[in-house]
């Protein structure tokens, strides 16, 4: 029922990408996303697509997994494309009723669709190849400088890793409670919106109760192991850059240089 | 009204790298009114099997016949099946949600579309059957003790008046007294109302005293399926799959090895005491 959500899920396998330092992947994804907004011609997107293709190949995660994650945002994508297609002023191609399609409209619609698709796939590669724990570890280390400005970096990272850790648990719990209520004749699938919302009460009340109970237990367990925040806390597996991480940074820099060159500059000549 | 499982297979997470066969070629026939114990180690597929019996999980292949009808048939009414086969999940107290115990028990029969009087009558009856005292009926279910919560939750399923009752580890997390009380009440339900009862458990000790038949699950397939005495004869094989026969079985086998002529098929402490006394000629 709820297992179809792949956005933010980890895909277990062994690959170069999986073994990279999470900081590389975080930084890389961020730079990749930014680069997508720099291009002003198709060549840039081509470069980004080639780069993405290579990373997907290296990650050894089946492509259909990433596409499955896109289903969730398909609707959003459709709306954006439609709006851009019809509402961009410019040179007219066809016009019917009050709607006109312009050359510029087609161009923006296509760019936005491609941009969104590549953005989602790019960031899903990061979550598919990095365990949530690693991810928050990387984030904590990257954001550490912010402590100067009194940002509670460790606490935020801890909260995030707990939240991520609890998603599958709560999903399992939801599944269980749902089944238990279905066994008692509950119906979650038919009726109008109000009826369906009401039908969720037998699911949500036990779910919240159990979430609070778990939170309470976890707090107790953490306290009894002397957890008192990030001050002076050491890591069992500290993040250290390896050779492959340096190589990855180099590749990233190369990609940025190439894609931005072709994506912004080549346009001027045509 | 019997249940027949015909070569049932179930695979969790099919088409993912984590696919696991949870049931492998399970064939069973359960006649009316039997008290069946389903025993297995964690992950042996016993809970998965239980969820197939009321159609919550759909077999990857194979058929299940309830009362002679294929439950995967095109026009089969799953909702009706779920009212006839009641399933009490592990830690059922986690599904309580209403403001008071009585309304919570009413939830099941209300979903069946019965009229109010009938719903309340059934709820009252069910609460009496599980032995919950009257003064608790209008308390919040969250204020009850662990054992009371569990009774209330079991009553919630009983109120639907199922013909088959499946209980998944109904004694998990209860103290020995609470455990014995619940098991005794379940046995009473079976003898008084003639319900078919499935008791899913990982402990032989729990079920040996009450059930007519034991189905031992291991890695998704049926390892043994027989009356308790016969199953416990294989106590060495049971150990290999992470289970154990009741303690009396071990004692009786030891006594027999040392030359005392006892009946090793005795499954309860009472029976064991009898056969030992008999062997000693008293």
Q: In degrees rounded to 5, what are phi and psi of residue A230?
A: -80, -15
Strand order in the sheet with B69-70: B20-30, B3-12, B61-66, B69-70
CA distances (Å), origin A231, targets A227, A237, A239, B102, B269: 10, 17, 18, 50, 58
Calculated CA dihedral for residues A196, A197, A200, A202, nearest 10 degrees: -100
DSSP B100: S
Calculated CA dihedral for residues B38, B42, B46, B52, nearest 10 degrees: 160
Under an 8 A CB cutoff, do B56 and A182 touch? yes
ipTM reported for the complex surpasses 0.90: no
Q: Which of A174, A175, A183 to mutate to test the interface with B (most CBs of B within 10 A)?
A: A183
Q: Which of A185, A198, A211, A212 to mutate to test the interface with B (most CBs of B within 10 A)?
A: A185
CA nearest A52: which of A115, A112, A110?
A: A115
Report yes or no: A19 at the B interface, CB cutoff 8 Å.
no
Range from A37-51, A161-175, B47-61, B266-280 that averages highest in pLDDT: B47-61
B/e letters for A166-183, b = 16+ CB within 10 Å, e = fewer, are: eeeebeebbebbbbbbbb
Report yes or no: A131 at the B interface, CB cutoff 8 Å.
no
Q: List, in sequence order, the alpha helices (H) in B194-264.
A: 204-208, 228-232, 235-240, 247-257
Spans in chain A with pLDDT lower than 70: 1-8, 69, 266-270
Note the pLDDT of residue A245: 92
CA nearest B50: which of B154, B158, B155, B167?
A: B167
B/e letters for B18-47, b = 16+ CB within 10 Å, e = fewer, are: eeebbbbebebebeebbbbbbbbbeebbbb
Note the pLDDT of residue A268: 54
> Radius of gyration over alpha carbons of chain B, in Å?
20
CA nearest B245: which of B221, B270, B224, B275?
A: B224
Please identify which residue in the block is written with the tokens 């004749």: A185
Maximum Cα–Cα distance for chain B, whole Å? 65
End-to-end CA distance of chain B: 45
Under an 8 A CB cutoff, do A182 and B111 touch? no
Under an 8 A CB cutoff, do B17 and A13 touch? yes
Token output for A244: 């492959």
How many CA atoms are closer than 13 Å to the CA of B42, on its beta-carbon side?
A: 2
The string of DSSP codes covering chain A is: --TT--TT-------HHHHS-HHHHHHHHHHHHHHHTT--SHHHHHHHHHHHHHHHHHHT--HHHHHHHHGGGHHHHHHHHHHHHHH--SSEEEEETTEEEEHHHHHHHHHHHHHHHHHHHHHHHHHHHS-HHHHHHHHHHHTGGGGGGT--HHHHHHHHHHHHHHHHHHHHHHHHHHHHHHHTT--SSSS-HHHHHHHTHHHHHHHHHHHHHHHHHHHHHHHHTT---STT---SS-----HHHHHHHHHHHHHHHHHHIIIIIGGGG-
Q: In degrees rounded to 5, what are phi and psi of residue B167?
A: -120, 120
CATH superfamily of B3-228: P-loop containing nucleotide triphosphate hydrolases (3.40.50.300)
The distance of B96 to chain A (nearest Cα, Å) reads 6
Nearest CB among B79, B87, B107 relative to A202 is that of B107
Strand partners for A102:
A92
> Radius of gyration over alpha carbons of chain A, in Å?
23
CA separation for the pair A130, A133 (Å, rounded)? 8
Under an 8 A CB cutoff, do A3 and B17 touch? no
CA separation for the pair B228, B205 (Å, rounded)? 11
Note the pLDDT of residue A266: 62
Per-residue pLDDT tens digits for B100-131: 999 999 999 999 889 999 999 999 999 998 88
Strand B213-218 with B20-30, pairing: unpaired
Under an 8 A CB cutoff, do B97 and A184 touch? no
Q: In degrees rounded to 5, what are phi and psi of residue B201?
A: -155, 165
B95 vs A89, which has greater pLDDT? Answer: B95
Average pLDDT over residues B29-41: 91
Nearest CB among B51, B94, B108 relative to A185 is that of B108
CA distances (Å), origin B129, targets B138, B156, B193, B197, B201: 17, 11, 11, 15, 22
Maximum Cα–Cα distance for chain A, whole Å? 70
Among A2-16, B144-158, B219-233, which is the least confidently predicted range? A2-16
Report yes or no: A185 at the B interface, CB cutoff 8 Å.
yes
CA separation for the pair A202, B107 (Å, rounded)? 9
Report yes or no: A12 at the B interface, CB cutoff 8 Å.
yes
Contact B238, B216 (CB under 8 A): yes
The structural domains of chain B, with segments of one domain joined by +, span 3-228
Chain B residues touching residue A186 (CB < 8 angstroms): 107, 111
Note the pLDDT of residue B106: 94
Under an 8 A CB cutoff, do A183 and B54 touch? yes
Under an 8 A CB cutoff, do A201 and B97 touch? yes
Q: How confident is the model at residue B179 (pLDDT cuts 50, 70, 90)?
A: confident
Q: How confident is the model at residue B73 (pLDDT cuts 50, 70, 90)?
A: confident
Chain B residues touching residue A3 (CB < 8 angstroms): 13
Report yes or no: A2 at the B interface, CB cutoff 8 Å.
no
Sort A6 into a burial class: Cβ within 10 Å, 0-12 / 13-18 / 19+. Answer: buried
Chain B residues touching residue A187 (CB < 8 angstroms): 79, 111
Note the pLDDT of residue A24: 93
Q: Helix (H, G, I), strand (E, B), or coil: what is residue B72?
A: coil
Chain B residues touching residue A183 (CB < 8 angstroms): 54, 56, 82, 86-87, 89, 157
Nearest CB among B51, B94, B160 relative to A184 is that of B160
Under an 8 A CB cutoff, do B108 and A184 touch? yes
HEC readout, B184-205: HHHHHHHHHHCCEEEEEECCHH
Note the pLDDT of residue A2: 47
Contact A207, A170 (CB under 8 A): yes
Token output for B205: 């000790």
Under an 8 A CB cutoff, do A185 and B157 touch? no
DSSP B102: H
Report yes or no: A224 at the B interface, CB cutoff 8 Å.
no
CA separation for the pair B71, B208 (Å, rounded)? 31
Under an 8 A CB cutoff, do A206 and B96 touch? yes
């Amino acid at each position: 029922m709820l297992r179809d959500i792949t956005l933010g899920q980890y895909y277990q396998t062994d690959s170069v990408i999986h073994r990279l330092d999470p900081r590389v992947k975080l930084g890389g994804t961020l730079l990749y996303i930014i680069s997508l907004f720099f291009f002003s011609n198709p060549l840039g997107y081509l470069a980004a697509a080639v780069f993405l293709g290579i990373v997907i190949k290296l990650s050894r995660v089946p492509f259909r997994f990433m596409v499955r994650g896109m289903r969730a945002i398909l609707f959003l994508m459709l709306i954006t494309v439609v709006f851009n297609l019809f509402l961009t002023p410019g040179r007219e191609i066809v016009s019917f009723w009050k709607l006109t399609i312009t050359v510029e409209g087609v161009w923006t619609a296509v760019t936005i669709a491609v941009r969104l698709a590549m953005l989602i796939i790019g960031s899903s590669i990061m979550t598919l190849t990095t365990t949530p724990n690693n991810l928050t570890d990387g984030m904590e280390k990257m954001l550490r400088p912010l402590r100067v400005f009194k940002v509670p970096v460790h606490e935020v990272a801890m909260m995030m890793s707990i939240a991520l850790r609890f998603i599958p648990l709560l999903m399992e719990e939801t599944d269980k409670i749902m089944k238990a209520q279905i066994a008692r004749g509950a119906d979650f699938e038919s009726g109008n919106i109000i009826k369906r919302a009401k039908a969720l009460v037998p699911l949500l009340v036990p779910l919240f109760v159990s979430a609070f109970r778990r939170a309470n237990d976890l707090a107790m367990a953490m306290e009894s192991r002397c957890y008192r925040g990030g001050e002076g806390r050491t890591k069992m597996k500290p993040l250290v850059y390896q050779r492959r991480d340096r190589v990855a940074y180099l590749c990233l820099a190369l990609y940025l240089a190439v894609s931005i060159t072709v994506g912004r500059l080549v346009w001027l000549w045509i | 009204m019997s249940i027949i499982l015909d070569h049932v297979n179930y695979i969790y997470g099919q088409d993912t790298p984590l696919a696991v066969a949870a049931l492998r070629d399970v064939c069973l026939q359960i006649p009316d009114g039997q008290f069946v114990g389903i025993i297995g180690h964690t992950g042996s597929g016993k809970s998965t099997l239980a969820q197939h019996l009321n159609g919550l999980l759909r077999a990857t292949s194979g058929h299940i016949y309830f009362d002679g009808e294929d439950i995967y048939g095109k026009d089969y009414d799953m909702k009706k099946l779920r009212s006839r086969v009641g399933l009490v999940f592990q830690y059922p107290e986690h599904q309580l949600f209403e403001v008071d115990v009585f309304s919570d028990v009413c939830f099941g029969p209300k979903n069946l579309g019965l009229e109010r009087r009938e719903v309340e009558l059934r709820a009252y009856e069910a609460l009496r059957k599980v032995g919950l005292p009257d003064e608790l009926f209008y308390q919040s279910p969250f204020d009850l003790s662990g054992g009371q919560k569990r009774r209330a939750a079991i009553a919630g399923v009983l109120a639907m008046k199922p013909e088959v009752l499946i209980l998944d580890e109904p004694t998990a997390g209860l103290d020995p007294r609470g455990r014995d009380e619940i098991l005794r009440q379940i046995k009473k339900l079976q003898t008084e109302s003639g319900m078919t009862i499935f008791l899913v458990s990982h402990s032989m000790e729990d079920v040996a005293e009450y059930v007519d038949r034991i189905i031992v699950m291991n890695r998704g397939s049926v390892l043994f399926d027989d009356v308790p005495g016969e199953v416990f004869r294989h106590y060495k094989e049971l150990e290999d799959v992470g289970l154990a026969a009741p303690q009396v079985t071990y004692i009786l086998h030891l006594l027999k090895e040392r030359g005392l002529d006892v009946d090793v098929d005795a499954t309860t402490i009472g029976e064991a005491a009898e056969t030992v006394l008999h062997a000693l000629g008293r």
